[in-house]
Amino acid sequence: SIAADTVRLLLKTDVTERLGCGEQGWAAVKREPYFSRLDTWDSDTIVSTTLHDIGSDYQKAIMMNFDQSFTSQDSSWDTAQMSSSKMHSAGLLGFEYTNVPAEVEWESSGDENMDDATLERVRRA
Protein backbone atom coordinates (compact mmCIF):
# COMPACT_ATOMS: atom_id res chain seq x y z
CA SER A 1 0.00 0.00 0.00
CA ILE A 2 1.00 3.62 -0.38
CA ALA A 3 1.10 4.16 3.40
CA ALA A 4 3.28 1.09 4.00
CA ASP A 5 5.68 2.14 1.23
CA THR A 6 5.99 5.63 2.72
CA VAL A 7 6.66 4.24 6.20
CA ARG A 8 9.33 1.91 4.78
CA LEU A 9 11.04 4.88 3.13
CA LEU A 10 10.88 6.92 6.34
CA LEU A 11 12.36 4.07 8.40
CA LYS A 12 15.30 3.18 6.16
CA THR A 13 18.32 2.48 8.36
CA ASP A 14 20.69 3.90 5.75
CA VAL A 15 20.29 7.65 6.14
CA THR A 16 21.31 8.27 2.52
CA GLU A 17 18.28 6.22 1.39
CA ARG A 18 15.80 7.56 3.98
CA LEU A 19 12.95 9.70 2.70
CA GLY A 20 13.59 13.36 3.46
CA CYS A 21 17.28 12.92 4.25
CA GLY A 22 18.69 13.21 0.75
CA GLU A 23 19.63 16.30 -1.23
CA GLN A 24 15.97 17.04 -1.97
CA GLY A 25 15.04 17.04 1.75
CA TRP A 26 11.40 17.84 2.50
CA ALA A 27 10.62 18.28 -1.19
CA ALA A 28 10.96 14.50 -1.59
CA VAL A 29 8.61 13.92 1.35
CA LYS A 30 6.04 16.36 -0.04
CA ARG A 31 6.05 14.55 -3.40
CA GLU A 32 5.23 11.15 -1.85
CA PRO A 33 1.80 9.90 -2.99
CA TYR A 34 0.73 9.32 0.62
CA PHE A 35 0.97 13.06 1.35
CA SER A 36 -0.67 14.18 -1.92
CA ARG A 37 -4.03 14.75 -0.19
CA LEU A 38 -2.56 17.54 1.96
CA ASP A 39 -3.66 20.94 0.68
CA THR A 40 -0.94 22.78 2.57
CA TRP A 41 2.30 22.20 4.43
CA ASP A 42 1.73 25.20 6.71
CA SER A 43 2.23 23.85 10.25
CA ASP A 44 -0.41 26.13 11.81
CA THR A 45 -3.01 24.93 9.33
CA ILE A 46 -2.07 21.27 9.75
CA VAL A 47 -2.22 21.45 13.56
CA SER A 48 -5.58 23.26 13.58
CA THR A 49 -7.24 20.93 11.05
CA THR A 50 -10.04 18.80 12.49
CA LEU A 51 -9.39 15.11 12.10
CA HIS A 52 -11.96 12.92 10.41
CA ASP A 53 -13.95 10.53 12.59
CA ILE A 54 -12.32 7.16 12.11
CA GLY A 55 -15.28 5.36 13.66
CA SER A 56 -15.55 1.79 14.76
CA ASP A 57 -13.54 0.35 11.85
CA TYR A 58 -10.39 1.58 13.56
CA GLN A 59 -11.43 -0.02 16.84
CA LYS A 60 -12.15 -3.30 15.05
CA ALA A 61 -8.72 -3.19 13.43
CA ILE A 62 -7.07 -2.75 16.82
CA MET A 63 -9.07 -5.62 18.30
CA MET A 64 -7.84 -7.90 15.50
CA ASN A 65 -4.35 -7.65 17.04
CA PHE A 66 -5.52 -9.65 20.07
CA ASP A 67 -6.57 -13.25 20.42
CA GLN A 68 -10.33 -13.78 20.64
CA SER A 69 -9.90 -15.45 24.04
CA PHE A 70 -9.05 -11.98 25.38
CA THR A 71 -11.41 -9.82 23.33
CA SER A 72 -14.44 -11.98 24.13
CA GLN A 73 -14.03 -11.53 27.89
CA ASP A 74 -16.32 -9.21 29.84
CA SER A 75 -14.52 -5.87 30.08
CA SER A 76 -16.37 -4.58 33.14
CA TRP A 77 -14.34 -4.11 36.32
CA ASP A 78 -15.47 -5.09 39.79
CA THR A 79 -13.59 -4.07 42.94
CA ALA A 80 -14.23 -7.59 44.25
CA GLN A 81 -11.75 -8.73 41.60
CA MET A 82 -9.12 -6.81 43.54
CA SER A 83 -9.55 -8.78 46.76
CA SER A 84 -6.39 -9.41 48.70
CA SER A 85 -6.75 -13.14 48.13
CA LYS A 86 -6.26 -12.52 44.42
CA MET A 87 -3.45 -10.00 44.81
CA HIS A 88 -0.26 -11.46 46.17
CA SER A 89 1.52 -8.74 48.14
CA ALA A 90 4.97 -10.10 47.35
CA GLY A 91 4.18 -9.65 43.66
CA LEU A 92 3.76 -5.93 44.31
CA LEU A 93 7.15 -5.52 45.98
CA GLY A 94 9.02 -2.63 44.40
CA PHE A 95 5.92 -1.01 42.87
CA GLU A 96 4.09 2.04 44.13
CA TYR A 97 0.37 2.45 43.50
CA THR A 98 -0.95 5.93 44.11
CA ASN A 99 -4.54 5.55 42.84
CA VAL A 100 -5.63 2.36 44.58
CA PRO A 101 -9.37 2.46 45.40
CA ALA A 102 -10.16 2.83 49.10
CA GLU A 103 -12.13 -0.45 49.03
CA VAL A 104 -8.95 -2.46 48.58
CA GLU A 105 -7.78 -4.06 51.82
CA TRP A 106 -4.13 -5.05 51.93
CA GLU A 107 -3.27 -8.15 53.92
CA SER A 108 -0.03 -9.94 54.52
CA SER A 109 0.55 -12.71 52.04
CA GLY A 110 2.47 -14.67 54.63
CA ASP A 111 5.62 -14.30 52.56
CA GLU A 112 8.54 -14.51 54.96
CA ASN A 113 10.72 -12.56 52.50
CA MET A 114 8.69 -9.37 52.98
CA ASP A 115 9.93 -7.32 55.93
CA ASP A 116 7.55 -5.30 58.13
CA ALA A 117 8.59 -1.91 56.71
CA THR A 118 7.90 -3.03 53.13
CA LEU A 119 4.57 -4.58 54.12
CA GLU A 120 3.55 -1.35 55.87
CA ARG A 121 4.49 0.71 52.79
CA VAL A 122 2.37 -1.58 50.59
CA ARG A 123 -0.58 -1.28 53.00
CA ARG A 124 -0.40 2.53 52.99
CA ALA A 125 -0.19 2.74 49.19
| pLDDT at residue number 108 | 47
pLDDT in tens, 35-48: 888 888 898 988 88
Average pLDDT of the segment spanning 49-68: 76
Q: How far is residue 56's CA from residue 96's CA, in Å, rounded to a whole number? A: 35
Residue 85 reports pLDDT greater than 90: no
Q: How far is CA 41 from CA 5, 13, 18, 35, 109, in A?
A: 21, 26, 20, 10, 59
Q: What letters, b where the CB count within 10 A reaches 16 and e where it falls short, cover 59-91?
A: eeeeeeeeeeeeeeeeeeeeeeeeeeeebebee
pTM: 0.40
Q: What are the domain boundaries of the chain?
A: 1-50, 80-124
| 37-46, 67-76, 103-112, range with greatest mean pLDDT | 37-46
